[in-house]
A and B are shown apart, each in its own frame.
Chain A
Amino acid sequence: MSIMQYNGGSVIAMVGKDCVAIASDLRLGNQALGISSNFQKIFSVTDRIYLGLPGLATDVTTLRELFRYRVNMYTIKEEREIQPETFAHLVSSTLYEHRFGPYFIEPVMAGLSKTPSGSFKPFIAATDLIGCLNFAKDFVVAGTASEKLYGVAEGLWESDLEPEDLFETISQTMLNAVDRDAYSGWGVVVHVITKDKVVTRTLKGRMD
């Protein structure tokens, strides 16, 4: 059994009309044994960037702390908030530092980036465990249910969804994908990021 599947867990991010959404399950397991049904894998980086870290649970915490430190240093040195594109490259280079002894995490990011005109542009990205970036226009997935997430998202997602419709789409995608994955599930959390607020909802899912 691969290290990537040891604790289980999945994350997905989607683009909407002037909004993005990111969702994850809440399970923490040891192979087939469930340990916790409230293990958060998504963390806020700034008010407009969220980062999902599916993979080996010890590295979820380690990387969360490492990125918090590096983003804080960036903010202090640059005297401004980090932008999603910059953050994606920070994630990528941080993971690549450990090219031959990697953190077993496949990060997924979602955020809104500021354009020169002052408006906001949706941004999502994902990387593999050594930091190979994937900037997608529609959705990105990672974790033990990634195949299922690809299938459902490919069927449900459409372009320019309003925040409420995007929430419904990402929620249905996540719920139905994790129900077919033994290593993911035990509840779902969804964040919908719009220019002036982030709506976080915890969904009731199957507990088996």
Chain B
Amino acid sequence: METSFALTGNGYVIVAADTTAARSIVKMKIDEDKIKTLSSHLLMAHSGEPGDTIQFAEYVERNIRLFQIRNNYALRPSAAASWIRRSLAQSLRSRHPYAVNLLLGGYDTAEDQPHLYWIDYLGTSTEVPFGAHGYGSYFALSLLDRYHDPNATLEEGLATLRRCVDEVSKRLVVSPGKYKVKVVDKDGTREIEF
């Protein structure tokens, strides 16, 4: 089942999402990238209704890019989170709402701080030190309560992520096989071999 995690650390946000695209009981694809790079310092993991996820993620991506072209500067993470949340909240009360859950990780270059937003398909948005979506959240959140350290180095952060991934593999009946892990920090976004 679809699972995504994210956690903040000392000057970075790690965002991880599984790479399986399933339809009913069939794995259609095992190398799906569910983490979009929205701008130089912004990552967004998306999960939920297939089709909605990609459509909405690309809609967000193009609008964030459009803002950048028009104004010659990128939205800060908090502003991007507000805009994305509002899009979902408006969609919720439309005829065909998007069913998309998001983890938005970004690095605010103006104040040199990492930020992580937990956003669900209703348009609920909250800034969190760590967050998760999907069945994995039931295992990961308690581990993150115990092991998360906002001042941890990237290596320590990845070790904490490893605990989450391992626990989900061990205990979840339909656990995803592989994860894609991306990091955003002062130098921008990059993928990490995990």
A-side residues, CB < 8 A to B, are 7, 28, 30, 33-36, 38-39, 56-58, 61-62, 65, 101
Contacts and interface: CB of A to CB of B under 8 A. Distances in A.
Prevailing SS type, chain B contact patch: mixed
Nearest to B128: A36
B18 interface: no
A33 B126 contact: no
B131 interface: yes
Interface string B116-156: 00101011111110010000011001000000000000000
Interface of B: 85-86, 88-89, 92-93, 118, 120, 122-128, 131, 137-138, 141
Contacts, number: 41
Nearest to B119: A58
19 contacts: A7-B124, A33-B141, A35-B118, A35-B126, A35-B131, A36-B128, A38-B126, A38-B127, A56-B122, A57-B126, A58-B85, A58-B88, A58-B92, A58-B124, A61-B89, A61-B124, A62-B86, A62-B89, A65-B86
A9 to B, nearest CB: 12
A58 B84 CA distance: 12
Contacts of A56: 122
Given A58-B89, A62-B86, 5 more contacts: A35-B126, A36-B118, A38-B127, A58-B122, A62-B123
A61 B125 contact: yes
A34 B145 CA distance: 11
A28 B137 contact: no
A35 B128 contact: yes
B137 A61 contact: no
Contacts of A28: 124, 126
Most-contacted residue by chain B among A36, A56, A58, A101 (CB, 10 A): A58
Nearest to B90: A62
Nearest to B138: A33
A34 to B, nearest CB: 8
B142 to A, nearest CB: 10
A171 B118 CA distance: 29
B129 to A, nearest CB: 9
Contact of A61 (B93, B118, B123): B123
A58 B124 CA distance: 4
A30 B126 contact: no
A7 B124 CA distance: 9
Contacts of B92: 58
Q: Which 7 residue pairs of A and B lie closest in terms of their CB atoms, listed nearest first? A: A58-B123, A57-B124, A58-B122, A36-B126, A58-B124, A62-B89, A58-B89
Contacts of B93: 101
A35 B119 CA distance: 10
Contacts of B125: 58, 61
A83 B123 CA distance: 30
Contacts of A38: 126-127
Contact of B122 (A34, A39, A57, A101): A57
Contacts of B86: 62, 65
A30 B120 contact: yes
A101 B95 CA distance: 13
A118 B127 CA distance: 41
Contacts of A65: 86
Contacts of A39: 126
Contacts of A33: 137-138, 141
A62 B88 CA distance: 11
Contacts of B88: 58
Contacts of B128: 35-36
Nearest to B123: A58
A35 B128 CA distance: 8
A28 B127 CA distance: 11
